[in-house]
Structure 1
Amino acid sequence: MSRMPMLGPETACEQGAPTLEHIRKQLGMLPNFFAGLANHGASLNAYLAFEDQLSTGSRLTAAQREMISLAVANANGCHYCVSGHTLSARHAGVDAAAAKRAQQGQAQEAKDQAMLDFALDVLEQRGHLPDDSLNAARQMGLDDATLVEITSWVGINSYSNWINNLIRPKIDFPEVPLID
């Protein structure tokens, strides 16, 4: 049971209501994450604006972004996000086995592995990476713009994980377990 109300366009504030209506029309449903985040309309709109800008200007593929999302969600213990991003990863071409590996911070391609290693280092070290970690990522072909983008994806995913861990919305996707 959710610890906060799940708001819809009918019950959200004037800032959040039109956004929720747009999401519902776009997706054909209103995921509980957005319904919970709408408890503060400005936070909902800010999250979506940040995500839109990152996606629009991304140097990473949709599959790579979902792999980061899965690794970060699992590390943050967000069952809702692991479930949602597993579905999104499938739509981005990531099969179930690769999604499960990504949850564990593992990838088959060397560059994808470097990306996940860097993302999890950023998360675990809260950005205070030693020079050797930064240099290792660069040696694997991740340039500075990509490193900043990966860090941004870690940040926005951590934010959504924390919101979901706080609110505990009902999972409205096929459930996927966290991996220890």
Structure 2
Amino acid sequence: MSRLPLLCPDTACDQGAPTLALIRQQLGMLPNFFAGLANHGGALNGYLAFEQQLSEHSRLSKAQREMISLAVANANGCHYCVSGHTLSAKHAGVDAEAARMAQQGKAQDPKDQTILAFALDVLEQRGHLPDESLAAARQMGLDDAMLVEIISWVGINSYSNWINNLIQPKIDFPEVPLI
């Protein structure tokens, strides 16, 4: 049982209700994450606006973004997000083994590995990276815009992880264990 109410278009505030209705219309369901986040309509809409801007202007592939999401969710102990992003990763072409590896911050492709290592380093160090880490990421071809984008994905995923860890909504995707 969720520790905060899971809202729907009929119970959400005036700011969140239309957004929840649109999500339900687009997805054919209302994921519990959004229903919990709607306890504050501005938080719901702000999250979606940030995610939309990152996605629309991303230089990372959908698969790379999902691998970051999996690594960060696992590191933050978010069972809900690991489950949801495993499904999203599958739709982005990431197979089950690669998704499990991503949870552990590992990837077969060297550039993907660099991205995951940088993302987890940012998370673990809270952005206080030593010069050597930054230099290593740049040496592997990550330019400044890519570094900021990766940090942004770490941030938005951590935010959703923390919301879900607090609310503890029922997982409404096929469950995938934390590693």
TM-score after normalising by structure 2? 1.00
Give the 3-state SS of the residue equivalent to 1:118 in structure 2: helix
Alpha-carbon distance in structure 1 between the residues aligned to 2:88 and 2:116: 17
Alpha-carbon distance in structure 2 between the residues aligned to 1:25 and 1:4: 23
- Tell me the CA shift for residue 166 of structure 1: 0.3
Alpha-carbon distance in structure 1 between the residues aligned to 2:173 and 2:64: 21
- Tell me the CA shift for residue 134 of structure 1: 0.3
Q: How does 1:11-160 map to 2 (within 5 A)?
A: 11-160=11-160
Give the 3-state SS of the residue equivalent to 2:9 in structure 1: coil
Q: How does 1:153-168 map to 2 (within 5 A)?
A: 153-168=153-168
Alpha-carbon distance in structure 1 between the residues aligned to 2:129 and 2:56: 27
Alpha-carbon distance in structure 2 between the residues aligned to 1:121 and 1:6: 33
How far does the alpha carbon of each residue in 1:40-87 deviate from its partner, in whole angstroms, 9 at most, with x for none? 000000000000000000000000000000000000000000000000
Alpha-carbon distance in structure 2 between the residues aligned to 1:26 and 1:131: 43
- Tell me the CA shift for residue 151 of structure 1: 0.2
Displacement over 3 Å in runs of 4+: none
Aligned to 2:3: 3
Percent of residue pairs identical: 83
Structure 2 runs not aligned, ≥5 long:
none
- Tell me the CA shift for residue 19 of structure 1: 0.1
In the comparison of the two structures, how many residue pairs are matched?
179
How far does the alpha carbon of each residue in 1:124-166 deviate from its partner, in whole angstroms, 9 at most, with x for none? 0000000000000001111110000000000000000000000
How far does the alpha carbon of each residue in 1:89-135 deviate from its partner, in whole angstroms, 9 at most, with x for none? 00000000000000000000000000000000000000000000000
Alpha-carbon distance in structure 1 between the residues aligned to 2:12 and 2:91: 29
- Tell me the CA shift for residue 25 of structure 1: 0.2
Paired letter, 1:16? G
Q: CA RMSD in A?
A: 0.3
Alpha-carbon distance in structure 2 between the residues aligned to 1:26 and 1:49: 16
